[in-house]
Amino acid sequence: MSQHHEHQAHSNHDHHSQSHGAHAHGEHGPVVHAPSGAALADYQRAYEQAEPEPGGTVVRVDLEAREIDWEFVPGRTTRVWAFNGQVPGPSIDARVGDVLEVRLTNRLSEPTTLHWHGLRLPAAMDGTDMVQHPILPGETFTYRFKLLDAGTFWYHTHSNEPVQLERGLYGALAVRAAEEPVFDRERVLVLSDVTLDGSGQIAASDDGRERRGGREGNVRLVNGTSEPELMMWGGQVERWRIINAASSRYMRVSIGRRPFRVLGTGGGMLDAPTTTRDVLLTPGDRIDVAVGPFEPGEVISVLSEPYDRGMGERSAELFATVRIGPAAPSHCSVLDWPREIAPLAERDAAPTREVAFSERIDVHGGVTFLINGEQHYRADPVTVGELQVWDIVNASSMDHPFHLHGFFFQVLERNGTPPAYRSWEDTVNVPAGGRVRIAWVADDRPGEWMYHCHILEHHAAGMMGHFAVVRRGNDDDASGRSTA
Ligand code: C2O
Ligand code: CU
């Protein structure tokens, strides 16, 4: 066993004696969950069982989180928190069947953890405070798991999220299948925003004003730079993996207001690519698109088109400008890359549970964000292999993006209408006053999991549910651990 592992085991053990408070239901302030006493053993087992498939490899990445100076706006320096000195952190690239081993060292002034958004990994590697103690300043923790699915994923801090993500603790992860369509170029565009004050520093958060809808920054970012200019050759077709890493900003992405091809979403390729002029990308969500070809000399704006998520409609917003250079030869392969996705359930399948998003004004005039009437809702266990049909109901007056950790679902219908294509998703928008029906089946990865609104301020304020995935016959074992 590697040193990394022993170091982890040691540091985890050191902090076993910390008594983190139990769930402080109905109170303001951060709710600290705590891993069970068996979490360390679960972690060790998951670590040891992560072996690459034949032909695969172990992709090792060292991440160091520390404060640095960064230029969101060229020529203007902002103090940020970054992985390896860059915002976003390094883009990780790997293949299905590889093992990803990420050793994270925390050089920040506060604890952190790392969540692997969209990945089907063992619960112990999910990076939440349900499954691990936070990584304290000075400590190192190693995440190690096998990559099971091709797609566009991302990693981000799962501690003090409204602060730590804005400061820069996020990055992209592309996982490739053995065979993929060929494009002239591939780019990852991590879209986000920050709120800078007059001196160019990240503004202190203003609870009262920002809390209800979540923070929307005054500087829009692509890969850590404000409204950059990109360059693309004429006549070429590129594959763009687009990630919305913002705290709360919805992006209705359009590319020069031209039609473009959507190849995939959060859970990889669609059953059949579809052509559109814009795609709504909520916080946490991703799309994989084919862009171009364009004529030499064209100037293409990457925009977020107007959209009202219940906070009033904003005008179109620029994220990046693409200048089209001289024509170059194209080696792009077939754009149609269908994938078989068997439906899990019919649209009219009877829901097995309801997840209700709501908000409530409390006595002090603040707003509380709830799941099924509670903050940090404890949901019933989910049994491995049993079909889940969940109706996600939004009783509030603004949209909320529902994100399920660790498992993909299919959208059966949204406000009574089936989606335009079949796909696997981990994040879906639930419109204000609306209802989305999803279906999913837990594969054999028992443990503690969660779902939440991916508006970070709402998640932090309690709009989340946590539940155990248990093996059949183990339903009363709330830890979800098998005795086998
Ligand atoms: Cu990207 Cu718990 O979320
Ligand atoms: Cu929300």
pLDDT tens per residue across span 197-210: 999 999 987 654 45
The tens-digit pLDDT sequence of the chain (484 residues) is: 333 433 333 333 333 333 333 333 333 445 567 788 888 999 999 999 999 999 999 999 999 999 999 999 999 999 999 999 999 999 999 999 999 999 999 999 999 999 999 999 999 999 999 999 999 999 999 999 999 999 999 999 999 999 999 999 999 999 999 988 899 999 999 999 999 999 999 998 765 445 689 999 999 999 999 999 999 999 999 999 999 999 999 999 999 999 999 999 999 999 999 999 999 999 999 999 999 999 999 999 999 999 999 999 889 999 999 999 999 999 987 667 778 999 999 999 999 999 999 998 887 777 889 999 999 999 999 999 999 999 999 999 999 999 999 999 999 999 999 999 999 999 999 999 999 999 999 999 999 999 999 999 999 999 999 999 999 986 444 444 443 3
| Rounded distance from Cα 72 to ligand 2 centre (Å) | 26
Please tell me whether the peptide bond between 338 and the residue prior to it is cis, using omega within 30 degrees of 0.
no
Question: Atom 1, ligand 1: which residue's CA is nearest?
Answer: 117
Q: State pTM to two decimals.
A: 0.91
Beta strand pairing call for 229-234 and 317-327: parallel
| Rounded distance from Cα 158 to ligand 1 centre (Å) | 7
Question: Atom 3, ligand 1: which residue's CA is nearest?
Answer: 117
Ligand 1 atom with the shortest distance to the CA of 118: 1
Identify the nearest ligand to the CA of 169 by its number. 1
Are 275 and 420 in contact by the 8 Å Cβ rule? The answer is no
Ligand 1 atom with the shortest distance to the CA of 128: 2
Ligand 1 shell residues, CB under 6 Å:
115, 117, 156, 158, 284, 403, 405, 452, 454
CA distances from 12 to 15, 114, 350, 442 (A): 5, 15, 43, 28
| Rounded distance from Cα 295 to ligand 1 centre (Å) | 39
Ligand 1 atom with the shortest distance to the CA of 154: 1
d(CA 80, CA 137): 16
Identify the nearest ligand to the CA of 118 by its number. 1
Identify the nearest ligand to the CA of 117 by its number. 1
Ligand 1 atom with the shortest distance to the CA of 405: 2
| Rounded distance from Cα 335 to ligand 2 centre (Å) | 35
| Rounded distance from Cα 117 to ligand 1 centre (Å) | 6
| Rounded distance from Cα 458 to ligand 2 centre (Å) | 5
Ligand 1 atom with the shortest distance to the CA of 284: 1
Helix axes 39-49, 3-14, angle to 10 degrees: 170
Length of the chain: 484
- State pLDDT tens for residues 86-135: 999 999 999 999 999 999 999 999 999 999 999 999 999 999 999 999 99
Ligand 1 atom with the shortest distance to the CA of 117: 1
| Rounded distance from Cα 358 to ligand 2 centre (Å) | 9
d(CA 114, CA 105): 11
Are 297 and 319 in contact by the 8 Å Cβ rule? The answer is no
**b/e 81-109 (16+ beta carbons within 10 angstroms → b):** bbbeebbbbbbbebbbbbbbbbbbbbebe
| Rounded distance from Cα 299 to ligand 1 centre (Å) | 35
Identify the nearest ligand to the CA of 449 by its number. 1
Identify the nearest ligand to the CA of 466 by its number. 1
